Amino acid sequence: MLGRLPNVRVIFKLNTLFRDLILRGIQTKLIMASELEPFSKKHCLNGTNVKIGTHNGTFHCDEVLACYLLKLLPRYKDAEVVRTRDMDIIEKCDVVVDVGGIHDHERCRYDHHQRTFTHTMNSLRPEKTWTTKLSSAGLVYCHYGEEILAAVMGEKGKDEKTVSIIYDKVYEKFIQEIDAIDNGVNQFDGEPRYHISTNISSRVSRLNPSWNE
């Protein structure tokens, strides 16, 4: 047990880091709708910068988290987040989350709204046991989670076993909550299906303008 205590401390620190940094990123620069300029095709056609595409209008915790997780990776840290439903623009983005009707990791497309989408962590990674339907946040975490954790953890991220343990804990105690809430999964059916530990979905929702603003 003593040998695993450092992992527990790292897990706690990472959970706190994700919660605080994600909310800070949301509040300061990522998706405050009132501060966004009207979008035009020229933003996505110049070919000089990496673009992360997501939908415009009301924003939700899953695509906010998906964008933020991607921007923790060095190759996406300076990416522009493009908010639109114009398919001509979306098709020219390097990565697309929560819009577009496609889940295709090879093409970096991570939507979960299509009728045919039923994926869970278990269906995409059979060694994982969770069967909650994935949101765009869960899809990004499923495909990039270890790489993201390794980047955040620095030297500690070189230990694959530690990264694997933390990957599972962060999904179970943090990401799964966001997947479930976004997909309307009931929390209880006898035994709890998932645990709400952050209430971050509600906190993100409150950042949207009111209907009369």
Q: Phi, psi at residue 104, to the nearest 5°?
A: -150, 100
In this predicted structure, the answer to whether residue 157 has a pLDDT above a threshold of 90 is: no
Confidence of residue 43 (pLDDT cuts 50, 70, 90): very low
The Cα–Cα gap between 16 and 108 comes to: 28
Percent of the chain past pLDDT 90, that is, above it, reads 53
Q: Which pair of structure tokens corresponds to residue 157? A: 């991220």
Percentages helix, strand, coil for the chain (3-state, rounded to 5) are: 55, 10, 35
- Whether this prediction's pTM lies above 0.85 is answered by no
pLDDT band at 192 (very low <50, low <70, confident <90, very high): low
Per-residue pLDDT band at 34 (split at 50, 70, 90): very low
Per-residue pLDDT at 185 exceeds 60: yes
> Does the pLDDT value for residue 13 go beyond 80?
no
Q: State the virtual CA torsion across 198, 112, 194, 140 in degrees, nearest 10.
A: -60
pLDDT at 200: 64
Rounded-to-integer distance, Cα 131 and Cα 61, Å: 20
Is residue 19 predicted with pLDDT exceeding 90?
no
pLDDT in tens, 60-108: 889 999 999 999 999 999 999 999 999 999 999 999 999 999 999 999 9
Average pLDDT rounded to a whole number, residues 120-142: 96
Question: Across the strands, what pairs with 51?
Answer: 80
